Each structure stands twice: as structure tokens, then as C-alpha cells.
Structure 1
Amino acid sequence: MIDFIRGQVAYHSLDAVIVEASGVGYRIFCPHPFYWKEGEMAQVFTHQVVREDSQNLYGFANTDERDLFRLLLEVSGIGPKVALAAIGAGSPRELVEAVQREDLRFLTKLPGVGKKTAQRLILELKDKLEKAGWTSLIRGAKDVVDTPGYTAQASQEAIDALMALGYNESEAQAAVHQAGEAFGEENPSVDEWIRKALQVSMKAK
């Protein structure tokens, strides 16, 4: 099993990123291929699916996305393409919360997921997510933004904005949290928060 690949991004396709490592170009199917820039060094966390007629690599920016992808594959009727599309349609937090709420409306909007598949997702995933620690992880992510001096709603908007700019969820949460600590007791606007979070993240790189 290939756990991750570290190398230089050679180029993209619409559904994959090609990473060169030790002279070999690996085509890795991703929910967000353009997260990685051409020419940069990247580490892609991977899951390998071996079948009689194919050997495919599926890649993710972080282990949370990959772990959730693996759990989705355990649901009957969910294959790699549908699982990858589900990961790409929203953040892991949104998907986990939808399963916890038994939100069929949200789940049936995912590519390739009808009502019956959505019901199986809830039935087969709810307990597994709890046992895997996802429920406490999601609660912890919410607590990150509940700091005196600013509102959870504004901080979540800032997180969403950073994710739209290409940050993964954990990076966006960390940057927004650090920006909130810098503001102290001030009550900044969302725009101010985004600017500060971008400054924090750039200094960290």
C-alpha cells in the first residue's frame, strides 16, 4: 500500500495531479487536483485501489480527507469515483455533520448519491464515524472558533473564504484561530479576519 507520494507536480488533468518522484510520474486522482501548483514540491496522501483490470491511486491534501474516503468505500454501493466526488463536494466536516443529522437533502446532492445510497451512508457510517473519533473531532473544530472577542459565524466565514482560495480545512482553521488570537478583544470584520489569516499563513510558510 502506498501511503503517500512526495515529489514535484509535473502537470494536472481535470481529475488528477501528476507527481514526479524518483523519475516516475504518478497519476493520482484527486477531489481538488489544482490544490497543488505545477512545479512545486508536494506531498499527496494516497489510497491505492487494485483491481483485475486497473491499479489506481487516489490522493488527498490531508489524512482527514483520505480517512473519510476510506470509510466511504466501506459503504455498500459506494465505489472510488463516488467517494472521491463526495469528498470534493464539501469539507469532511460538512459530510460528517450531514450523516450525523441524517440530512438526506444534503447527501442526495452529492454526485452519484441517490436517496437509497444516502440512507445507506447514514445507516452504515454513523456508528463508524463515532468509533473513529470523527464526532469529537468535529466538535473540537467548532470549539476552535468559539473564542471571546469574535463570533463563531464570522470566523467560519473566514475559514470558508480561505478554503475557497485553496487552503485545506485544517490549514484554514489554524490560520483563522491564530488571527483571532492576534485581534484579542477586538471584533474584526470578516474581511479584516481574512487579511490577517492570510498574513499569518504566509509567515508560517
Structure 2
Amino acid sequence: MIAYIKGILTYIQDDSVVVDVGGVGYELICANPFGFQSSLNTEVKINTYHHVREDLQVLYGFKNQDEKYLFTKLISVSGIGPKGALGILGSVDIPAFVAAIEKEDDKFLTGFPGVGKKTARQIILDLKGKLTTMLQVSGTEDTATTEGSPVSTKGLQEAQEALKALGYTDREIKMVVPKLQLEDSANTDEVIRKALALLMKN
């Protein structure tokens, strides 16, 4: 299996990045390709998961080991494939996501693309108690923190939908999502205003 790719980041596409390793371009499918924008034309080391099927071989790329670990666990859940796992990773706050599973908060989980009630219950059934040894959980002792993170993630998702309704393309939205994830705001309107400001700069 290919654990990581190290080379020059030469190209960023809507759903992938291309890394040149000794003259060979490796395409890595990513949840947020534009999260690598600041590393364009420089050497990068990207964690990868080599997905092999009888009729297909795909390399998935991740910004860190936590993203990769969560991806591998998600695709082990019945009903979630690589595309669904990437959809979750595209707007997830990992500690909040783990906390939601531990609290069996299926309402929070159904806020992610492609996750209905049945899939949310399956995620809880398959992953509860299996992520906390490797991934951080949102502060379970601090109620404000625990309650705040899911709202922030939901706000980001709602903001993305609002931007689509305003006519922005997936490519444009993906370019600002990494910066929006750094915003410490649970208010959807604030997230939208920040996103619009970023989009006007691009």
C-alpha cells in the first residue's frame, strides 16, 4: 500500500491534486483540494490511502493522519463508500464528529451530505468506542465546547448551500472552505459574510 506521496505539488483541480514525483504525476483525490493552495509548486508530503478494486485503483490524499484514519474507518461502515467519506471530511470538525458518535447524536450526523438516519445509526453502531483511542474528542466536560462545535460545523454546511444558491460554483466554494474552517463562529450569517469577502478577493 502507498502510505504517502512526497514531491512537488504541480496542479490543483476541483476534486484532486497532482504531485510530481521524479517526473511522474500522481493524482490524489481529496476532500478539500484547495486546502493545499498555499503549497502549490513546492514540495509536499501528503498522506494517502490506496483504494484498490477489481476494476479501479485510486489514491486518496489527506492533510493529516487524523483525516486519513477517519476516512479508513468511515469506508468500513456499511453504506459509506469513498465518495461518501470524502463528503463528510469536506466539512467535518473531527473532534466534534467523534463526540457525536460517542453521544449517539444521530441528528448531528445526518447534517452531513449523503448521511440519512439509517446511515447515521450504522456509523454509531460500527464506530462508537473505536475512534477515541486515535482521535481527539471535543471536550466532554465543557458543555459549551461540546455544544458549540457541532453548531459551527452545521453553520459551515449551511453557508456552503447558501453560496451555491447565490450562484457560486463548487470550485469557488472549495477554495474558501479551508479558511472558513478556521473561523471560530457558530453563526451561519457570519460564516457567509466571511465567505463572500474571501470570494470577492479571489
TM over 0.5: yes
2:107 is aligned to 105
What is the letter of the counterpart of residue 30 of structure 2? C
Count of residues in correspondence between the two structures: 154
TM-score by length of 1: 0.66
Q: Is the counterpart of residue 23 in structure 1 residue 37 in structure 2?
A: no
Q: Distance in 2 between matches of 1:14 and 1:94?
A: 26
What is the letter of the counterpart of residue 29 of structure 1? I
TM-score by length of 2: 0.67
Q: Distance in 1 between matches of 2:68 and 2:51?
A: 13
2:54 is aligned to 52
Q: How far has the Cα of 1:91 moved from its partner? A: 2.0
Q: How far has the Cα of 1:92 moved from its partner? A: 1.3
8 Å CA contact 2:3, 2:49 repeated in 1: yes
Q: Distance in 1 between matches of 2:107 and 2:4?
A: 34
8 Å CA contact 1:4, 1:45 repeated in 2: yes
1:28 partner SS: strand
1:46-195 map, 5 Å = 46-130=48-132, 132-134=133-135, 137-138=136-137, 142=139, 164-165=178-179
Q: Distance in 1 between matches of 2:114 and 2:127?
A: 17
Judging changes above 3 Å, is the alpha-carbon distance between structure 1 residues 26 and 164 closer, same or farther for their aligned structure 2 residues?
A: closer
The structure with higher relative contact order (CA 8 Å, sep 6+) is: 2
Judging changes above 3 Å, is the alpha-carbon distance between structure 1 residues 138 and 152 closer, same or farther for their aligned structure 2 residues?
A: closer
1:19 partner SS: strand
8 Å CA contact 2:9, 2:44 repeated in 1: yes
Structure number with bigger Rg: 1
Q: Kindly indicate which of the two structures has a greater share of residues assigned to helix.
A: 1
Q: Distance in 2 between matches of 1:19 and 1:25?
A: 5
How well do the aligned residues superpose, as a CA RMSD in angstroms?
3.0
Judging changes above 3 Å, is the alpha-carbon distance between structure 1 residues 77 and 90 closer, same or farther for their aligned structure 2 residues?
A: same
1:181 is aligned to none
Judging changes above 3 Å, is the alpha-carbon distance between structure 1 residues 123 and 167 closer, same or farther for their aligned structure 2 residues?
A: closer
Over 6 Å off, 4+ runs? none
2:162 is aligned to none
Q: Distance in 1 between matches of 2:25 and 2:33?
A: 15
The one-character-per-residue Cα deviations of 1:146-189 (angstroms, maximum 9, x if unpaired) are 9xxxx979xx9xxx9xx943888xxxxxxxxxxxxxxxxxxxxx
8 Å CA contact 2:35, 2:178 repeated in 1: no
8 Å CA contact 1:47, 1:59 repeated in 2: yes
2:7 is aligned to 7
Identical-residue share of aligned pairs (%): 42
Q: Which residues of structure 2 form unaligned runs of 5+?
A: 154-176, 183-202
